[in-house]
Every structure is written in C-alpha cells, then in structure tokens.
Amino acid sequence: MRRVDEAMRVVLSDAISKELQDPRVGFVTVTGVKTSPDLRHSRVYVSVLGDEDARSASLEGLQSAHGFLQARVASTLRLKHTPALSFIYDESVDTGMRISELINRETDADQ
C-alpha cells in the first residue's frame, strides 16, 4: 500500500502543479496519500501556502477537479480500482511551524 500511496502522491502532485487550470487552486503541495486496502477511497493530504481564504478556495478547487485528477491517476497507474479522491488539509505543517516558533521564542528568551 505504501508504494501505491507514493505513486498516487507523485501523479497527483504533477497533475496539480502542471495541468490543473482552476484559478482557485493556489500553491498546493501534496504531503501524503492514504488509500484504503480495497483501493476504493483515497485521502489526499495537502498543504496550501496562504491564509484561511486561500486554503478553503484551494480545497474547493481540488474537490471540484477530483474527476480530472482521478482520471489522471487511472490513466497513469494500473490499479484494480481507481480510488475516489477526497482532499484534506494537512495541519502537520502548521503544527511544525508553531513548534519551531515556540522553540525559537524560548531560545531567544534564554539569551
């Protein structure tokens, strides 16, 4: 499953950055893909550069383009089933930035 998830991440990253024409989709990075064992559903985790409005607009654009992206996965990868895609904002990037900020603040206070 890890190989399938990684292959889907590469295909989706490429399609989003090079082929997707939706103006709502800003700078999006596919951080991971988690596919169900029966290959019916995939959760695509993305991070979006920008504020809350940019994030919600990009997620709406990705969700509306899921058919195009699903077709791209189907044409590129040979899978028993082409998973239905759902896009989820990956909060781990925000959490990591917040932790770094707290560490830097604590380091600056000690000096």
Mean pLDDT of the chain: 91
Output the pLDDT for position 18: 93
The domain locations on the chain are 2-110
Output the pLDDT for position 107: 79
Q: What predicted TM-score, i.e. pTM, was given to this entire model?
A: 0.84
Residue range 2-110 forms a domain whose CATH class is alpha beta
Average of pLDDT values for 32-58? Answer: 93
H or E stretch covering 3: helix 2-18
Give, in order, the Cα–Cα distances in Å from 14 to each of 6, 11, 76, 81, 111.
12, 5, 11, 21, 44
pLDDT 10s digits, 59-102: 999 999 999 999 999 999 988 889 999 999 998 877 888 888 88
pLDDT of 33 above 80:
yes
Pick 106 or 39 by higher pLDDT.
39
Q: Are 38 and 72 in contact (CB under 8 A)?
A: no
* CA gap 84, 10 in Å, rounded: 17
Q: Are 57 and 15 in contact (CB under 8 A)?
A: no
